[in-house]
Amino acid sequence: DAGVTQSPTHLIKTRGQHVTLRCSPISGHKSVSWYQQVLGQGPQFIFQYYEKEERGRGNFPDRFSARQFPNYSSELNVNALLLGDSALYLCASSLRTGEAGANVLTFGAGSRLTVL
Amino acid sequence: SQQGEEDPQALSIQEGENATMNCSYKTSINNLQWYRQNSGRGLVHLILIRSNEREKHSGRLRVTLDTSKKSSSLLITASRAADTASYFCATVDSTLTFGKGTMLLVSP
């Protein structure tokens, strides 16, 4: 069974451009979370979706948006890219969300974004 | 913002030695989890300890949790070169909040 898959694995953009990152969760997992990891730091929570509804949002500007599709895959969109958006973007899936002890995440390998 | 904070930031040991990493957090939690990350790849879940548990074992891993001190520790016994990675604690309320991690280097 495939794990969490993310695409693209690497991409380079210039300031002001837009980027779309994609994630396919493990089969049967209905919750998808997005994290940003800047070099040398821990992952920072961006969004969580469950059953196609946003269930949580981290402290990120409105340039960041996401959605979840009926097949539970997800997209993360970032508009008006800044140099500081350069990071590894991690997608993680889980069976469900919000329940104590239930939120064990399975991560994809990430999409490394470089903004020039 | 980071909820947990790991200590030390970096740890270098020889194969066969034990490695201990600590995590402190600020708010009440439902459970605490430890994850491992190999050189900028995705994170892998290692172990979960619930707020009503004090100690948990999984193979060579031992995790403790002290909710009164808002701290946890991860002990890796008889370390191997393959244990070289970054280790993160993550506190859980409705979502996971990660610390900055401890970078562990195990030399042969």
Task: Establish if B101 touches chain A: CB-CB under 8 angstroms.
Answer: yes
CB distance B19 to B83 below 8 Å: yes
What are the tens digits of pLDDT across the range B12-68? 999 999 999 999 998 888 889 999 999 878 899 999 999 999 999 999 999 999 999
- Chain B residues within an 8 Å CB radius of A107: 35, 42-44
Q: What band does A101 get if pLDDT is binned at 50, 70 and 90?
A: very low
- Chain A residues within an 8 Å CB radius of B9: none
- CB contact residues (below 8 A), chain B span 34-73, against chain A: 35, 40-45, 48, 50
Q: How do strand B85-92 and strand B61-66 relate by DSSP bridges?
A: unpaired
Cβ distance A33 to B96 less than 8 Å, yes or no, reads yes
Q: For residue A22, what are its two tokens?
A: 């994609």
What are the tens digits of pLDDT across the range A32-74? 999 999 998 999 999 999 989 998 999 999 999 999 999 999 9
Quote the pLDDT of residue B91: 87
- Residue A8 preceded by cis peptide, ω within 30: yes
Q: What band does A98 get if pLDDT is binned at 50, 70 and 90?
A: low
Cβ distance A101 to B31 less than 8 Å, yes or no, reads yes
Q: What band does A6 get if pLDDT is binned at 50, 70 and 90?
A: very high
